[in-house]
Amino acid sequence: MKLSAEQIQSNWEIFNNNINDHVTGDRKQKLLDFYKKYEERIILMPASHKKEYHSAFPGGYVDHVNRVVDASLKMYGVWEQFGMDTSTFTIEELVFSAINHDLGKMGDEEHESYIPQTDQWRRDKLGEEYMHNKKIAFAAVPDRGLFLLQSHDIKYTFNEMLAIQTHDGLYDSANEKYLKSFMPETKPRTSLPFILHQADMMAARIEFEVEWLPKFSQNSVAAPKKNYTLSNNIKSSKSKALNTISSPGLKNMLDSL
């Protein structure tokens, strides 16, 4: 899958609008500054390193995160409708967690986690468009994301810490201590982690379907893709998109898409 320059730019505007619309206090500007600082890396990041996973293409990360924010807000409505106690966390905590849930995928301050795969065989046979950058020490995605936030003096609440930490649900056995407890005292005190996990799982699953299901319909014409648009999608022309970017390097990259 390939996003156009306009889609990539529009996604970046939505990403920043989500911060502007939902994050409050002095951490709002700190978060905007953080993402401005790493803009050129994040705007073109894939959401995963392998095309069998999801959104392993330039711009896939922001596209995925925006979908998770949108899905989290809609999922909140479903849980509310079914009687969830909405007093145990805030919408800001939900959106902040969704915006930053996969932040650890960016790598550290100096190095990206995913760099283009140099081994053609692995590209062709294993579908690995990207490979892990050996220059950075291993850390689980939630751990690195939380470390990046604290090292840039961006405070997060206990609820946000727990939601980001457990966003993979029980797909990550490290989360069993929070999610597989049979004692009421040790269960999460809010439904926030479950909402974020459901939103993330749904987004990744749909990204997989859009990317892969048409390829599985052999000997038949693939069904036309459903046009998914985010509720706060922003229309912009390519020239407008490119005009808003100050970096000549980034401009060139986007222009060539």
The stretch near Fe ion (CB under 5 A) out of 12-20, 35-43, 100-108, 174-182 is: 100-108
- Residue 244: closest CA among 2, 76, 16: 16
User: How crowded is the C-beta side of 179, counted as CA atoms within 13 Å?
Assistant: 20
Measure the CA–CA gap between 162 and 166, rounded to whole angstroms: 6
Q: How far is the CB of 95 from Fe ion (least distance, A)?
A: 14
The stretch near Fe ion (CB under 5 A) out of 17-25, 49-57, 85-93, 197-205 is: 197-205
What is each CA distance from 165 to 140, 174, 193, 210, 220, in whole angstroms? 9, 9, 9, 27, 42
Rank residues 55 and 190 by Cβ distance to Fe ion and give the closer one. 55
**Do 104 and 143 meet the contact criterion of CB atoms below 8 Å apart?**
yes
The stretch near Fe ion (CB under 5 A) out of 9-17, 133-141, 196-204, 208-216 is: 196-204
If phi > 0 it is left, if psi is from -120 to 50 it is alpha, else beta; for residue 107 that is left
Q: Does 168 bind Fe ion (CB under 5 A)?
A: no
Q: Does 200 bind Fe ion (CB under 5 A)?
A: yes
Q: How far is the CB of 60 from Fe ion (least distance, A)?
A: 11
Residue from 102, 128, 207, 211 in contact with Fe ion (CB under 5 A): 102
Site of interaction with Fe ion (CB under 5 A): 102, 200
